Amino acid sequence: MSSHSDVLGILRTDARTSVEDIARQTGLEEADVEEVIAELEDSGVVKGFQAVVDWDRVEDEPVRAVVELNVTLDRETSYNEVAERVAKFPNVESLQLVSGDYDLLMEVRGESMSEVSSFISEKVAPVPEITQTVSHYMMDTYKKRGIELGDGHDDDRLSVSP
């Protein structure tokens, strides 16, 4: 199973790493690397490969928000059931059960603040078990999935000398 975790670690760092490079880094044969990747995909460990996008550099940047959801359950309903209903909406990019002051953490994407707000108020808030939503619109992203974004030269702070 060690080969699985070695290959997975490399793919998490850069999913575009070639089978040849993964084989060289792990000491495995290329055919074995291909087999490990197929097993990771078939078993559902790897759900897909995505690019990390710096949306600030894209002309039609979507509006993104993180939304705290408070949930009140009854005897017949579980967190999983509520999450399965909410996760089906295409605007939902991620949804996680969390500890703390709220129950679910949802990341939402839309073309405008109005679209995101309408989605939350018309689709999410009416779910009977959801008792409160608190939205936080993302203004800027500095690091995503372990990768620092931006050119690294932007510093809007004023220089102060003693």
User: What's the pLDDT score for residue 50?
Assistant: 67
Query: Mean of the pLDDT values across residues 50-62?
Result: 67
CATH of residue 119's domain is 3.30.70.920
9 and 82 share a domain?
A: no
User: What's the pLDDT score for residue 158?
Assistant: 55
Domain assignment of residue 159, yes or no? no
Instruction: Say what percent of the chain tops pLDDT 90.
Output: 42
105 and 75 share a domain?
A: yes
Separation in Å, CA 43 to CA 28, 31, 61, 136: 20, 18, 34, 35
Domain assignment of residue 161, yes or no? no
Closest CA to 47 of 81, 21, 19, 12: 12
Distance CA 13, CA 17 (A): 9
The two structure tokens encoding residue 30: 């290329």
60 and 121 share a domain?
A: yes
13 or 21, greater pLDDT: 21
Domain assignment of residue 146, yes or no? no
pTM of the shown model: 0.62
What's the structural domain count of the chain? 2
pLDDT in tens, 18-37: 888 888 888 888 898 888 88
Domain assignment of residue 157, yes or no? no
Average pLDDT of the chain to the nearest whole number: 84
The two structure tokens encoding residue 106: 């949802």
122 and 99 share a domain?
A: yes
Distance CA 45, CA 113 (A): 34
Query: Which residues are CB-neighbours of 144 under 8 A, at least 6 positions away?
Result: 52, 54
Separation in Å, CA 49 to CA 8, 45, 159: 12, 12, 41
Closest CA to 65 of 93, 107, 120: 107
110 and 132 share a domain?
A: yes
The two structure tokens encoding residue 21: 């490079």
Distance CA 139, CA 106 (A): 16
- 83: domain range? 55-139
Domain assignment of residue 149, yes or no? no
